[in-house]
Structure 1
Amino acid sequence: MAISLLISHFTPIISLYLLLHSTLISAVNITHLLSPYPDLSDFSDLLSTTTVAADLSQRTSITILAVPNSFLRCSDLIHRSPSSNNIADVIRYHVLLQYLSVHDLSRFPPSGKLITTLFQTTSRATTNFGYVNVTYDSQTNTTTVRSPAAYSQPPNTATVISVIKTLPYNISIFSVNSLIVPYGFDLLTSESRPPLGLNITKALIDGHNFNVAASMLAASGVVQEFESDEGGAGITLFVPTDDAFANLPPTADFQSLPADKKADVLRFHVLHSYYPLGSLQSIVNPVQPTLATEDKGAGSFTLNISRVNGSVAINTGIVQASVTQTVSDQNPVAIFGISRVLLPKEIFGKNAIFENAPPGAPSPITSSSPLNFPPELYVPSSPPESREELHSPANVRRVNFAVLCIGLLYLFV
């Protein structure tokens, strides 16, 4: 009893501490974390002057590759006078959108693993050249970060020197021995920033795996709606890959829908607010309205967003997809690739969505469900011919005899 009273007494204090702690983590100031390290002052200044530090203030789960003054001052970034936005993109290339601990660095395979950088989210990175490849050599105990492009020009590789600071599971800062410049990036080139307002169709085509979605958006005309909504609170698009459209089950006949229904499905993939990936991973209200909700009425066409096995999961009530990549993330527009086409139950709810079934397999919705179980809870464990054998007269007699024996045994016991 006393323990219960003690716990209840301290619960508000613990809750307040956790709330304040989470607030401090989400509002962390990168330059403040770097301030005790004078050898990183130049890199910290670049974070501030390029506004990259401000972009990071709302992000969690990041890793910073900071270049010490002695290495940074040897780079062309200091001796030349490139445009400020080019400098900013080079610095973004040193921000990994994943928290990595010291232990994590020693677990990468010799072949490496691709990690997304902040530069990849700008739509200015060519194909996957906004990623870095992180490798670990157990013989030399060194972790190397390099451009994934086979023919990239130096400086394209850096070695991790030491850990500077870690805030577990949110932010880590490592020093590296060189600046890394993305593939095909000329520090002397002119301004490369796209005009105000993102061209969504172009961003999807540049992603090289969203051609079906780009064509549908352009043909339906809803892409103009999306781009006109970029102002204000911004938008977040969930875009199925080409494979996701190819793997639609026959029961989800998307192409046969009338034009207005197709437009509703496309609007169903858009939130009328800008959510970077970190915000989606820690979203407070999992039930989110979509642009289709605004058109069809409150409570309809909503998405349930949650974190499942380390990934962002999006559930429509009949389909669950996961975020597979960041296509573009530039306030006020975020575009994420997803593994499945989001099918609203308001349109497809009357049709069972069964995926990964072998060709010719009977649909559970048409099978006779025992004991009136809902069809979705009844999955036949044997093919039709096996079920016919089970119901043959000989097998029925065997089953009845077995039941009789068990009943007699129960009475004697």
Structure 2
Amino acid sequence: MEFVLPICILFMLANVGACTEVRDVGTHIVSLANAPVSPLSLSPAPAPAPPPAPHFVNITDVLQQAGQFKTFLSLLKGSQVENQLQTQANNTQQGLSLFAPSDTAFASLRREYKAMINKLTDQQKTSLLEYHAVPTFYSLGQFQSLSSPISTMGPYKFNVSAFGAQVNMSTGLVNAPISSSIFSQSPVAVYEVDKVLLPEEIFGLPIPTPAPTPEPVSAPESAMAPTDGTSAKSPDSSSDQSDAAYKNAFVIHSVLLMFGVFQVLLW
């Protein structure tokens, strides 16, 4: 009996502790269940990178790097057409086709046309420059299917004809073939032409080519011309000399006849 009581007391104490632990765990679970739930915070997704800016072709740089368009560039510099060309080149929907005359093309202009270009008004110079640009990108292959005439950036038009790889521009005054492709990548094409495109509306009717001056024809030398360096005598001078000899002979004959009559009288 002495051992039973302590054992019972220990058992009861153990049960009380277990119950206390269970009660504490339950209380903790209830407190967690009743606690307010905060919404989950998600970090924002990074914004997409902006698309790269379009690369625009600088028309002036293309002509300068080519090197053979100094005269054409001198006309463009400071004019409103320079800005118009660049604006059109930046238009990725339409683009630009530029037909640039080389320095050789300007040098080979006829003197009359050079004088007319130097006397053009500012508006006429603008129209002349605009005449060399088409507000659409055309590759060399696309010229095969173009119908003439085609519109330029100015008020005038010109005709285009293509024969195989050869593309020719016709203004009514000049025929200018494309001699080379300087730059061709959509939306910009720059082509070299070996003649200046001259619109009839500015330069009028074609200037006629003067007929060649005939070379003077030297008179053929007479077959009887002397070979000792003396000049040949004309038929008129020979006739005059014959008349003079006849007169001299007649005078001498008359003198002799009178002398004979005088001798007879003396006898």
| TM-score range for the pair, normalised by the shorter chain length | 0.5 to 0.7
Deviation at 1:339, TM superposition (A): 0.5
Q: Which 10-residue stretch deviates more, 318-327 or 342-351?
A: 342-351
- Alignment partner of 1:322 is 2:177: yes
Provide closer, same or farther for how the CA distance between residues 382 and 242 of structure 1 changes in structure 2, counting only shifts above 3 A: closer
User: In 1, Cα distance between the equivalents of 2:162 and 2:79?
Assistant: 31
Amino acid at match of 2:168: A
Q: Is the 8 A contact 1:220 1:259 kept in 2?
A: no
Q: Give the secondary-structure state (helix, strand or coil) at the position aligned to 2:68.
A: coil
Structure 2: stretches of 5+ with no match in the other structure: 1-52, 220-267
Task: Classify the secondary structure of the residue corresponding to 1:292.
Answer: coil
Rounded to whole Å, the distance in 2 between the matches of 1:351 and 1:381 is 18
Deviations 1:249-276 (A, max 9, x none): 1111312211111110000001111001
Q: Is the 8 A contact 2:100 2:193 kept in 1?
A: yes
Tell me whether 1:209 sits opposite 2:68 in the alignment: yes
Distance 1:350 1:316 in 2: 11
Alignment of 1:285-300 (within 5 A): 285-293=147-155
Indicate how the Cα distance of structure 1 residues 308 and 383 shifts in structure 2: closer, same or farther if over 3 A, else same.
farther
Identity among equivalent positions (%) equals 30
The reply to whether residue 333 of structure 1 matches residue 194 of structure 2 is: no
Gaps of 5+ in 1: 1-193, 294-300, 355-362, 365-379, 390-413
Q: Distance in 2 between matches of 1:219 and 1:287?
A: 30
Q: Is the 8 A contact 2:173 2:206 kept in 1?
A: no
- Asked if residue 278 in structure 1 is aligned to residue 141 in structure 2, the reply is yes
Asked whether 1:233 is paired with 2:128, we answer no
- The amino acid across from 1:233 in the alignment is Q
Matched length: 163
For 1:18-167, what aligned pairs fall within 5 Å after superposition? none
8 A contact 2:130–2:152 mirrored in 1: yes
Aligned equivalent of 2:214:
383
Q: Which structure is higher in strand share? A: 1
1:261 aligns with 2:124: yes
Give the CA deviation at 1:195.
6.5
- Work out whether residues 146 and 160 of structure 2, in 8 Å CA contact, stay in contact via their aligned partners in 1: no
Given the alignment of the two structures, is residue 313 of structure 1 paired with residue 144 of structure 2, yes or no? Answer: no
Deviation string 1:8-27 (CA, Å, 9 cap, x unpaired) is xxxxxxxxxxxxxxxxxxxx
Partner SS for 2:190 = strand
| More helix per residue | 2
Distance in 1 (CA, whole Å) between partners of 2:112 and 2:79 is 22
* Corresponding letter in the other structure for 1:327: I
Match runs of 1:171-186 below 5 Å: none
Q: 1:309 to 1:329 in 2, by over 3 A?
A: closer
Partner in structure 1 of residue 112 of structure 2:
251
- 2:57 paired residue number: 198
Alpha-carbon distance between aligned partners in 1 of 2:185 and 2:94, rounded to the nearest angstrom: 13
**Paired residue type of 1:292:** G
- Would the aligned equivalents of 1:271 and 1:289 in 2 still touch at CA under 8 Å? yes
Question: Which is bigger in relative contact order (C-alpha 8 A, separation at least 6)?
Answer: 2
How many angstroms apart in 1 are the aligned matches of 2:206 and 2:176? 18
Paired residue secondary structure (2:77): helix
Q: C-alpha displacement at 1:385, in angstroms? A: 5.6
Secondary structure at the counterpart of residue 75 of structure 2: helix
Quick one: distance in 2 between partners of 1:218 and 1:283? 34
Give 1:226 deviation, angstroms. 1.1
Distance 1:322 1:274 in 2: 18
Question: Cα RMSD over matched residues?
Answer: 2.4
What displacement does 1:383 show?
A: 2.1
Is the contact between residue 131 and residue 153 of structure 2 (CA under 8 Å) also seen in structure 1?
Answer: yes
Which one has a bigger Cα radius of gyration?
2
Superposed displacement of residue 307, structure 1: 1.8
AA at the equivalent of 1:269:
H
Q: Would the aligned equivalents of 1:240 and 1:339 in 2 still touch at CA under 8 Å?
A: yes
Change (3 A) 1:251 1:384: farther
**If the length of structure 1 is used for normalisation, what is the TM-score?**
0.37
How far did residue 324 of structure 1 move? 0.8
